[in-house]
Amino acid sequence: MILADNYFRLRDAVEEAESRYSRKSNSVHIIAVSKTQNTEAIQQVAKLGQNDFGENQVQEGVSKITTLNIRGSVWHFIGSIQANKCRDIAAHFDWVHSIDRLKIAVRLSHLRPSTDPPLNVFLQVNMQAESTKSGVAPIELAELAYSVSMLPALRLRGLMTIPVAEESAVKQRSNFSQLRILQDTLNDDLDLKLDCLSMGMTNDFEAAIAEGATHVRVGTAIFGPRKILNKKQR
């Protein structure tokens, strides 16, 4: 019951934000960030109508994808990417939100199974040059975006960011608007037709929706505080 209450409260909040900021109904995808959550909790949320799930650890994510095998589910990789993990990511995930260098994009394209559709990808942008976060610098973004858009087994869909946490909705919106402007500039300058923005989490998704987010990555508002799983629980 707690999961259901949380989930439907979140869906209502997303729908209200869509209406408040003149966004098209159902234009925002909720990614249920299921990292560290057990398979039973994920199954419960899936039964409520949730299709998109986000994982940031490759081994844990692949185990859940193969064990659950939920019909209609869409799996998003949202963590930092090591080169030696690209094969599993390319083979099992539908979306990747965290590409920040060409080497990783090339490996994902090369390793994507030929029988699968192109892998949908975002470029992660480190908007505020934080040393603790991954992401391409804005000044290097255009070159990376053009190169990734040329890779045959990837489909570049847009940009992702994890900005500095802000309490003020005005400051939150300012951070997200900068990413939107960057994406608009890429579309104008390189004719990329990027159509998605991955931004916003539990504490700032409404501000992200106001600035054009198409994908919000929400975990705590659905599942509650993060858990530490042992191998038997995954």
pLDDT in tens, 46-75: 999 999 999 999 999 999 999 999 999 999
State how far Cα 138 lies from the chain centre.
19
Instruction: State both tokens at 100.
Output: 């920040």
pLDDT in tens, 142-158: 999 999 999 999 999 99
pLDDT in tens, 121-143: 999 999 998 888 999 999 999 99
pTM passes above 0.75: yes
Q: What angle do CA 186, 191, 192 make, to 5 degrees?
A: 70
Q: What angle do CA 43, 48, 49 make, to 5 degrees?
A: 100
What confidence score (pLDDT) does residue 208 get? 98
Instruction: State both tokens at 229.
Output: 């799983």
* 100 touches 123 (CB < 8 A): yes
In the chain the domains, ranked by start, together with CATH numbers, are: 2-228 (3.20.20.10)
CB burial readout 42-81, b (16+ within 10 A) else e: bebbbeeebbbbbbbbbebbbbbbeebebeebbbbbbbeb
